[in-house]
Structure 1
């Protein structure tokens, strides 16, 4: 089974009751379940209780507790509303008898209406940029544990994700504009199921969104040991059709960081310039003791 098949298998939840599903986890570079996995699995659970002609147009979620990667996750779906145009679902993810994640998702039948969008920002062709396999090993010495490179490559093997500019871990200690761009797509073709493409974009959306916060403070991130972080909440709006197996530009910025939290916001465009998705996330961004609060503080 290749990496993409393994990821698709991860998202293919087991139905144990009419509105109850069970999912497993995969190894990660940190000792907790990857947030994008829980969000994607919860959206799969919600989508399987919705008529096929209604497509996801938004989700709003809270990460409540760190997930245990060694235990199954049970997803319970509440059928909040089935209207003429919109369907609403609420999903609670539970492990060891406690909720770890909560999601509300809305689905809509297609309608014609007003149409406009923000223009796609300039970005180089994704093929001109280094792959993760080329980029990460160059900066292994930037990580507290260089073996994390292999774990990151393994956990991201199903997704071709390419940074337009250097990622935070490559320039830790340098304050930069609070903006990061990455291109991404799955490593392999996908079926035409629209829910599958939305769920895979949801899976990827949690990987890099808070990078823009790190850049504004010259921080390298959790693997560099200069930030302790975790996702708090996550919201996405799906504007236009897209395919997750074709290049998507993830344009990310941070308008604010305060109170031990950082906010990231982003737009995801198709290669043709269509605004496909808007994303907002807030996360815990704590400076470990001894690392200081200034740019690059605590680095040798």
Structure 2
């Protein structure tokens, strides 16, 4: 976690220009959630502390590299009476790899409603993602075991359904998991930055669920865009429930949507994502 927070800490190198390093969380390509979180981290540094981020929408333009620093440009599009808007471009090797719009809002009173949190087993009753990987690796050919045992993320994940990375049986177009981070700085902005990081974790798997048997050589799955709306303060050191489903899939793309709940049932955030889904016939 210290390494991840270090990677998400942006250093100012010019007016509204920031630089950061990347870290390999165990994925085979640079994790998109890391780039989103770095973009948000930079944008947050240009906004008053009493205006936390409440929404963002990002587009992934190119895959990123593990061994190359990133540069983040932030444009201060608007600072109004209650809202601030920022436009962000993340560069690597002098090419844009992600663009993002983010909105920040000074909290104010208002009426509240939300969907009910699903009834699921508590995180303590479920195996960790590492346990799931270990069990899958024991049943796999020896040539695949090393890659299957790689730690995929710096955060704690307890899968409920659908987000087992090596599952190859078709299932429902949905998934659910508990997740949390440990040793997070007390500042609320860090909890929201890390929520943005975690919100990209396995979300594309919802649309893949009914097509997992086609995840063979030649398959290409990737995130195309990502939306996040944060409804209230985040405590990412406590377990959060992330449930998602897929409304549709076709023409090489799949649509995903998700809800993130606190353990006591409060709706913390909503997500959307369209994913590229090129699967062999």
TM-score between both structures, scaled by the size of structure 2: 0.93
**Deviation sequence 1:98-125 (CA, Å, 0-9, x none):** 1110010000001111211111111110
Determine if contact 2:163/2:176 at 8 Å carries over to the other structure: no
Determine if contact 1:219/1:227 at 8 Å carries over to the other structure: no
2:57 and 2:163 map into 1 onto residues whose CA distance is 27
Shift of 1:167: 3.6
RMSD: 1.8
- The 3 A distance-change label for structure 1 pair 167 and 37 is closer
2:98 and 2:3 map into 1 onto residues whose CA distance is 23
Aligned residues: 279
Say yes or no: does 1:217 pair with 2:214.
no
Gaps of at least 5 residues in structure 2 are none
Determine if contact 1:88/1:104 at 8 Å carries over to the other structure: yes
Match of 1:159 in 2: 155
Any residues of structure 2 matched to 1:1-300 within 5 Å, and which? 4-140=1-137, 141=139, 145-151=144-150, 153=151, 155-156=152-153, 158-165=154-161, 167-169=163-165, 171-173=167-169, 175-186=170-181, 188-219=182-213, 225=217, 227-288=219-280, 292=281
Residue aligned with 1:53, SS:
coil
Determine if contact 1:169/1:220 at 8 Å carries over to the other structure: no
2:32 and 2:45 map into 1 onto residues whose CA distance is 20
Determine if contact 2:126/2:159 at 8 Å carries over to the other structure: yes
Determine if contact 2:162/2:174 at 8 Å carries over to the other structure: no
Q: Which runs of 4+ in 1 moved over 3 A?
A: 28-31, 141-145, 166-171, 218-221, 224-227
